[in-house]
Structures are given as structure tokens and as C-alpha cells.
């Protein structure tokens, strides 16, 4: 976006592929990263049939990230496919997240009386308009908390749980004590995205998320930007981030040469060991290759799915566990193969065992690749040092938190809000 405003942009990456931690790898690249010289078995099919994301995340179909892709014209370098279903694991079963009155009636998540109350809640959300007081039904979403709104509609704790975590996509329960406006906006966006795409509120780029950074680099190049990938083994690719006497970034030193700059946007891995970031925890992830879809997802459209396991549904756990599954329909796996990626915050000394509730849902696993990533957040002041550092990718399988951070960085750099007053409907994504 900086190049669109006439700024000169140099993008440097230590990896030989686009995207860094959000890269999409072939099967050979995946094995090289996790198993060195071991070659993938022939039973998995051709390497080039795979584009496996290291940190897969779905896009809310009518959400802000899609609007950013449309605003920057990056969307026209991509092709999207809808995700078949969004699910929540509660009461020891996988349930589709009900986003309409019809789905609520058939849901196994609630009893009959609770279904009626939930339908009233969904209809209130769908009809709610800020400038039409008669649609508010006496509720004040700016002053009343989400918990108070839930209680007004007599939603039971289990209903509140899946609404907050699988529908509104909150990361913890602190939202219950905050003004309900954010919850209303999130639920309206989820429901609207479902109505526009029919199956779920999510879409996913064919050939994986690696197409997003590649698309931005191509768009940047159109406006004079330069993108430099490097061979992974060159440890001196970025030798030093340079600062002037006032402590403001002034350049990047690479292989003896200096590229001068006044601002730097970076992920936190380039600042490890400095006082500009701090560790916030760890995330455990596991890539699983399957020869079958996940059971108990839609039998007619089970080529892809998101499943959220709320932390409170697992004994002695605080945070949610996420599963996303994609397949050859998204051009990310060989025919007949499925890629399921599990992620969750590390809360104990045995991270892999913490993901057991998710492993239990997958059935037979052909191959799995498990790892743990340290997570960081910036603690510097970019107005003083010119370094705009992002947080590490969290465990979620959606872009809600990441998109919010991108929009905040744009505001910090430009001094104004990013204008996203455009639509993000299916027809807008057509080339």
C-alpha cells in the first residue's frame, strides 16, 4: 500500500519463497524444512500438487482483508474458493455453526426452547441498524455489555460459548464484559458472509496463502517496488538494521551494501534479542496429511472446513484449539488427499499432547509435521524509531486479529484510517 502512495519500497526476505511464516510449500519443500534429506513417499503423490500453508488462515468472505485485497487490486492476481463449512466441537460432537434461523432449528447444539430464543437473537442481529432505533428493541449496544445482551435474550452458557468463539471469533471470554457493539458487528459480518457464499463465511485462495504476499509484491512492482528473495543458507542476508544518533532506523545492511530507509516494516523475527519486542507465549502447530475428509463435517461438501474447539470444552484448558482442512479443490493437495492443520496456544510442558482433542477428530493420519513457535509482540514506539513491527501469527485459523493489526500499522504510518468503504461481494472478486 505504501507503493500506491508513491513511496519507494524495497521488500527483503531471508527465505527463498514468498511469505515467510505464511508461506505455501510444495511437498518436497515441506519435507526439507522438517525432515532434512528425507524424501516424501510416493503414496502422497506429486510434490508440485501440494501448496501447504505453514500458518493457514481463512478469509472472512466479506471482511476487511478481502476489502484490502480489492482496494489494492491484489485480488485480481488471486482465485478464491469458498470453504465448505464452519464447525464447533461441543458436547463431544462436531456441530455446524448455525448462522441463520433455519440452521438454528436443525442444530444439535441447543434444545427446542433455546433454539427459539437463539432464533430471536439471530433475527435481532440481522435486522439491527444503528440509525434505526426501532430495530434495537430497547438495547443499547454502546453501553450494555455482550453478557447483558446475551442474558436479555436468555442465551444459555453453551449458546453464549459457541456464539462468542465460533461465530464472533473472540479469543477469550473478556468480550462478555465489554460493550456489545463489537459482538454485533462481528456476528452481522459472519451471517452476511454466509448469505453471500452459501456454505460458510470463509473463502480461501487457490494454491494457498503464498499467493497473497506474491500478489502484493507483484502489485508493488507495478508501482516501482523491488522484491528480493534470498537463499536460506545465506546467514548474512540481512547483516544489520541501522539506526542514526536519534535512534531512528536509517538503513538495512546486506552483504556489505546499505539500503537507506526512513521507515521499516518487519515481522518480529528480525528483532529477536532486542528490546523492541517481547515474548508473549508459544503456539503449537501440526500439519496432517489425510486420505479422507474429517468425519462429521458435511457429507456432501466436505472438501474443506474450519473446526473450533473452545478451550472450556477441553478439561484443564483455557484457550481454543483450531483445525482447518483444505483439499485438491483448492489446488493445495494431490487428488484424494486432504491437508488438516491444527493449532493452539501452548499451556503446558507437553505441547503435542495438548492437541490430542484435535488429533482424535482427524482419524487416520498419513503424515504429520509438528512444531512449536515462539510468539512475540512489539513494545517499541514506531513514531520514534520508525520500526513498524507486527506480532507473531496467533493460533487462530482466520485473519481477524492479523487484519486489525495491518489496519493499525497503516494508520500509524499515514496518520489516517484506511478507507475500506467498498463492498466485498462474490462478484467483486471476479477478474
Q: How far apart are CA 291 and CA 363, in angstroms?
A: 10
**Model pLDDT for residues 130-170, shown as the tens digit of each residue:** 999 999 999 999 999 999 999 999 999 999 999 999 999 99
Contacts of 98 (CB under 8 A, 6+ apart): 104, 106, 107, 109, 118, 122
Q: How far apart are CA 396 and CA 323, in angstroms?
A: 9
Task: Check residue 257 and give its pLDDT.
Answer: 80
**DSSP three-state, residue 143:** coil
**Fold for the domain defined by 96-198:** Guanine Nucleotide Dissociation Inhibitor; domain 1 (1.10.405)
Beta carbons of 392 and 282 less than 8 angstroms apart: no
Q: Exposed (0-12), middle (13-18) or buried (19+): which is 116, by Cβ within 10 Å?
A: middle
pLDDT at residue 114 is higher than 70: yes
Sign of the CA dihedral running 324, 330, 332, 336? positive
Task: Check residue 233 and give its pLDDT.
Answer: 45
pLDDT at residue 431 is higher than 80: no
pLDDT band per the 50, 70, 90 thresholds, residue 421: confident
Query: pLDDT averaged over the chain?
Result: 88
Beta carbons of 408 and 64 less than 8 angstroms apart: no
How far is residue 347 from each of residues 228, 300, 320, 393, measured CA to CA in Å?
37, 36, 11, 17
**% of the chain at pLDDT higher than 70:** 91
**Model pLDDT for residues 326-336, shown as the tens digit of each residue:** 999 999 999 99
Nearest Cα residue to 203 out of 86, 101, 88 = 86
Q: pTM for this structure?
A: 0.87
pLDDT at residue 299 is higher than 80: no
pLDDT band per the 50, 70, 90 thresholds, residue 15: low
What are the domain boundaries of the chain? 96-198
Amino acid at each position: 500500500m505504501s507503493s500506491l502512495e508513491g513511496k519507494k519500497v524495497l521488500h527483503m526476505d531471508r527465505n527463498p519463497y514468498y511469505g515467510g511464516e505464511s508461506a505455501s510449500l510444495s511437498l518436497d519443500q515441506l519435507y526439507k524444512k522438517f525432515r532434512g534429506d528425507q524424501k516424501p513417499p510416493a503414496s502422497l503423490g506429486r510434490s508440485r500438487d501440494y501448496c501447504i500453508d505453514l500458518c493457514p488462515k481463512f478469509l472472512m468472505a466479506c471482511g476487511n482483508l478481502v476489502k484490502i485485497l480489492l482496494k489494492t487490486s491484489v485480488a485480481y492476481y488471486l482465485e478464491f474458493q469458498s470453504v465448505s463449512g464452519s464447525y464447533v466441537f461441543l458436547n463431544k460432537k462436531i456441530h455446524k455453526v448455525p448462522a441463520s434461523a433455519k440452521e438454528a432449528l436443525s442444530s444439535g447444539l441447543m434444545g427446542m426452547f433455546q433454539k427459539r430464543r437463539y432464533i430471536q437473537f439471530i433475527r435481532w442481529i440481522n435486522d439491527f441498524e444503528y440509525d434505526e432505533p426501532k430495530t434495537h428493541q430497547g438495547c443499547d449496544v454502546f453501553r450494555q455489555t455482550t453478557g447483558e445482551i446475551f442474558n436479555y435474550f436468555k442465551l444459555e452458557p453453551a449458546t453464549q460459548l459457541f456464539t462468542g468463539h465460533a461465530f464472533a471469533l473472540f479469543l477469550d471470554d473478556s468480550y462478555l464484559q465489554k460493550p456489545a457493539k463489537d459482538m454485533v458487528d462481528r456476528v452481522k459480518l459472519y451471517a452476511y458472509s454466509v448469505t453471500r457464499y452459501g456454505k460458510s463465511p470463509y473463502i480461501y485462495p487457490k494454491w494457498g496463502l503464498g499467493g497473497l504476499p506474491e500478489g502484493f509484491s507483484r502489485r508493488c512492482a507495478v508501482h516501482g517496488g523491488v522484491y528480493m528473495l534470498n537463499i536460506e543458507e545465506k546467514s548474512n542476508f540481512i547483516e544489520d538494521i541501522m539506526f542514526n544518533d536519534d535512534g531512528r532506523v536509517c538503513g538495512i545492511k546486506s552483504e556489505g551494501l546499505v539500503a537507506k530507509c526512513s521507515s521499516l516494516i518487519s515481522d518480529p523475527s528480525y528483532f529477536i534479542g532486542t528490546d523492541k519486542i517481547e515474548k508473549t507465549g508459544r503456539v503449537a502447530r501440526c500439519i496432517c496429511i489425510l486420505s479422507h475428509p474429517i468425519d462429521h463435517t458435511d457429507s456432501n461438501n466436505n472438501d474443506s472446513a474450519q473446526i473450533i474447539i473452545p478451550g472450556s470444552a477441553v478439561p484443564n484448558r483455557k484457550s481454543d484449539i483450531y483445525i482447518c482442512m483444505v483439499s485438491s479443490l483448492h489446488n493445495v493437495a494431490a487428488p484424494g488427499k486432504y491437508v488438516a492443520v491444527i493449532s493452539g496456544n501452548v499451556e503446558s510442558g507437553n505441547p503435542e499432547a495438548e492437541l490430542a482433542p484435535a488429533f482424535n477428530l482427524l482419524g487416520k493420519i498419513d503424515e504429520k509435521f509438528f512444531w512449536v513457535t515462539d510468539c512475540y509482540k512489539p513494545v517499541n514506539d514506531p513514531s520514534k524509531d520508525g520500526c513498524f513491527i507486527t506480532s507473531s501469527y496467533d493460533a487462530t485459523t482466520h485473519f481477524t486479529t492479523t487484519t486489525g493489526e495491518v489496519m493499525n500499522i497503516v494508520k500509524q504510518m499515514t496518520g489516517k484510517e484506511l478507507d475500506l468503504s467498498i463492498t466485498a461481494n462474490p462478484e467483486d472478486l471476479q477478474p
